[in-house]
Structures are given as structure tokens and as C-alpha cells.
């Protein structure tokens, strides 16, 4: 186990990306960061979304693979139905992964997102109008580790071929009702050199975003002085776009889950215009309270103001 509980939950769908990732973890591939292959305990987690009729075969496949590799296995059947949206499936999937993480006292969730996913996600976010953050949203963090981001889909397929890795193909990957699949098809005709250029541009944007975020966070911490309380007199003077940037940073600092543009806009407008006493649902753990002078983020269960 090492000096600490070096346990990771690995999300495995049964597709080529996650099967390659699992093989890399088992074989302690040099393509992975040392922290993921030294004294590491692996728990394989599989989600049957219940969207496809034959999805059970993927669960059985992944369960067998985990057993062959000597890894623990966890799964859930969500039974979402064929009309479930991509966002709904993703939200429920991560809820399960976080439960498994807590059960095994794991220190992070490892996913098989790769370089092509970065490009697709950026394109999707441009279409959805998510702003600058959407261009660098798919990255690794301490809790969500994505070690394959520097590998292309072609490199992953080449690895699978080299080591004879088997996987299950998800038929929904060819269904054009999903935006990501339409974006993926569009990218399939783009030259590798152009993809690399796009990837380089996104990396530069990510670095710029990181600098902007650090500056905003520094100013925000100076204003908050340890409490999750935003002053109305200061906030109403901000330009609407800048107000949104500070609100997003405020929510991240308070560890609010599932921050999106709608939530940010709702809170910005409320802080600038709502009457004192207004309560705003933020997420399952937090509520926003509008007072005469401020917006306070409080814990839903006891209405106690957060410290940040």
C-alpha cells in the first residue's frame, strides 16, 4: 500500500480506450506517470447505463478482464433508458465512481480520455458557448486523473494492436443523434498535422486560462477574507462578463459541484438584482442567501456560512 492508501478507481467501459488504459496499469507501462504504477491498488469500476439492450455483455466482459488482471471489480446498472442524454449519463456515471472512491478510500479516479477527446470536447464547448474555460476543460486534476491525454486515438489503437488487446465496440458510437459522435465524424477527415496544430493552440489557451484564473483567485481571496461572502456593493460595479468570471471562481473556491454557465448567470443576476431574503439552490450541498449587503454561500443542512 505504500506510505498512504495509494488506491485508484479506474473507469472501464469495455471500449478500446479503457481496455488499453487497464493493460497499461497492469503492465506498469512507462507511458503512465510513476505515481500510477508504484505500489498502486486498482479498483475497476464499470457503469451499465442501461441505454443499449446488449449493454450487459460489456459488464461481463469488463468483470472477466478485471478478474484476469487481479483487480477488484465494482459495477452499477443505472437503467437510464435509450432516451437518456449524454449529460445525464455522465452525471450519474461520476456519482457512482465517487461512491466507489469513498467505499475503497481511493485517492483518485482514473479515466481513459485521450488527445482526440480534448479536441472534441473543445469543439463541443465552442458550439455550446461555454466561453474560454470550455476550451481547456478536459484536463487532469488530483481527483480525476487522465493519463492518456497526450496520446491520440491512433496511438491507442496501435498499442491495442501491438499487445493483442481485445475490447467491445459500443454501437452508440455511430449514432448521429449524439453531438460528440457528429463532432468525432467531422474530425475523422481532418489531417493529423491540423489536429496537432489545434492541440497546440488549445495548450496555449489552457496556459493563458491558468494565469487568468490565478489572478482572479488572488483578487477574490482578498475580497472574501476567509468567508464565502460576496459583497453586493463591490460586485454590482463589475462588468457583466467580469462578474461571471468572479462568480465562477467563487463557486470553485467553495467546492461547488457541476458549475455551468446557467448557474453562474443565475447567481450573477440574483446578486445584482434580487431582494434580501432570496434563497438560491446552488447544488445538493449548498444554498445561496441574498442579504442586503451580500451573497452568502451556506451549507444546506445547517445554513452555516462556508469558510474558504
Q: What CATH number does the domain containing 219 carry?
A: 3.30.465.60
| 3-17 residue pLDDT tens | 457 899 999 999 999
Among the three residues 146, 163, 187, which one is the final residue of a domain in this structure? Answer: 187
The pair phi, psi for residue 164, each rounded to 5°, is 65, 40
| 88-145 residue pLDDT tens | 888 899 999 999 999 999 999 999 999 999 999 999 988 887 788 888 889 898 899 9
**28: which DSSP letter?**
T
Contact by Cβ (8 Å): 26, 32: no
Does 68 lie in the same domain as 116? yes
Distance of CA 273 to the CA centre of its chain: 32
Residue 82 covered by a domain = yes
Does 172 lie in the same domain as 274? no
Average pLDDT, whole number, for the chain? 90
| 190-204 residue pLDDT tens | 998 999 999 999 999
Residue 223 covered by a domain = yes
Q: How far apart are CA 101 and CA 9, in angstroms?
A: 6
pLDDT, average across residues 41-63: 91
pLDDT, average across residues 210-214: 94
Does 99 lie in the same domain as 150? yes
Distance of CA 149 to the CA centre of its chain: 13
Residue 285 covered by a domain = yes
Among the three residues 138, 169, 187, which one is the final residue of a domain in this structure? Answer: 187
Task: Return the pLDDT at 1.
Answer: 36
**274: which DSSP letter?**
P
DSSP string, 119-178: HHHHHHHHHHT--GGGGG-S---SSEE-TBTTS-HHHHHHHHHHTT---PPPGGGG-TTS
Does 211 lie in the same domain as 82? no
Number of domains making up the chain: 2
Grid coordinates representing 307?
469558510
Buried b (16+ CB within 10 A) or exposed e, 218-229: eebeeebeeebb
CATH code: domain of residue 48: 3.40.50.620
pTM of this structure? 0.80
Does 130 lie in the same domain as 240? no
Rounded to a whole number, what is the distance in angstroms from the first to the last CA of the chain? 32
Residue 38 covered by a domain = yes
Does 243 lie in the same domain as 177? no
Residue range of the domain that includes 291: 195-299
Does 179 lie in the same domain as 251? no
Does 182 lie in the same domain as 203? no
Residue 207 covered by a domain = yes
Does 137 lie in the same domain as 168? yes
Contact by Cβ (8 Å): 306, 286: yes
Does 251 lie in the same domain as 173? no
Q: How far apart are CA 202 and CA 197, in angstroms?
A: 9
Residue 63 covered by a domain = yes
Task: Return the pLDDT at 87.
Answer: 80
55 pLDDT band, cuts 50/70/90, is: confident
Does 200 lie in the same domain as 183? no
Among the three residues 187, 218, 236, which one is the final residue of a domain in this structure? Answer: 187
Residue 1 covered by a domain = no
Residue 15 covered by a domain = yes
Residue 162 burial class via C-beta count within 10 angstroms: exposed 0-12, middle 13-18, buried 19 and up: exposed
Q: For residue 225, is it left (φ>0), alpha (ψ between -120 and 50) or beta? A: left
Task: Return the pLDDT at 9.
Answer: 97
Does 209 lie in the same domain as 183? no
Amino acid at each position: 500500500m505504500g506510505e498512504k492508501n495509494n488506491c485508484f478507481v479506474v473507469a472501464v467501459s469495455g471500449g478500446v480506450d479503457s481496455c488499453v488504459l487497464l493493460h497499461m496499469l497492469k503492465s506498469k507501462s512507462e507511458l503512465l506517470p510513476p505515481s500510477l504504477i508504484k505500489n498502486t491498488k486498482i479498483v475497476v469500476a464499470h457503469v451499465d447505463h442501461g441505454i443499449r439492450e446488449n449493454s450487459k455483455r460489456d459488464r461481463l466482459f469488463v468483470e472477466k478482464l478485471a478478474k484476469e488482471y487481479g483487480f477488484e471489480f465494482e459495477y452499477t446498472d443505472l437503467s437510464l433508458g435509450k432516451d437518456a442524454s449524454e449529460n445525464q449519463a455522465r452525471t450519474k456515471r461520476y456519482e457512482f465512481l465517487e461512491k466507489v472512491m469513498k467505499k475503497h478510500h481511493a485517492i483518485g479516479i482514473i479515466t481513459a480520455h485521450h488527445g482526440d477527446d480534448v479536441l472534441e470536447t473543445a469543439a463541443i464547448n465552442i458550439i455550446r458557448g461555454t466561453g474560454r474555460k470550455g476550451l481547456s476543460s478536459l484536463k487532469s486534476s488530483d481527483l480525476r486523473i487522465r493519463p492518456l491525454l497526450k496520446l491520440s486515438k491512433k496511438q491507442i489503437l496501435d498499442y491495442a494492436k501491438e499487445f493483442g488487446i481485445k475490447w467491445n465496440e459500443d454501437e452508440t458510437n455511430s449514432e448521429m443523434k449524439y453531438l460528440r459522435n457528429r463532432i468525432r465524424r467531422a474530425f475523422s477527415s481532418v489531417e493529423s498535422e491540423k489536429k496537432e496544430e489545434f492541440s497546440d493552440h488549445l495548450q496555449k489557451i489552457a496556459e493563458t486560462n491558468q494565469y487568468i484564473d490565478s489572478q482572479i483567485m488572488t483578487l477574490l481571496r482578498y475580497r472574501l477574507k476567509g468567508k464565502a461572502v460576496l459583497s453586493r456593493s463591490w460586485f454590482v460595479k463589475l462588468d457583466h462578463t467580469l462578474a461571471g468570471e468572479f462568480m465562477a471562481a467563487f463557486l470553485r473556491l467553495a467546492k461547488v459541484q457541476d458549475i455551468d454557465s446557467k448557474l453562474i448567470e443565475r447567481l450573477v443576476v440574483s446578486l445584482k438584482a434580487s431582494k434580501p431574503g432570496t434563497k438560491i439552490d446552488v447544488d445538493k450541498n449548498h444554498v445561496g442567501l441574498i442579504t442586503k449587503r451580500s451573497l452568502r454561500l451556506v451549507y444546506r443542512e445547517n445554513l452555516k456560512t462556508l469558510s474558504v
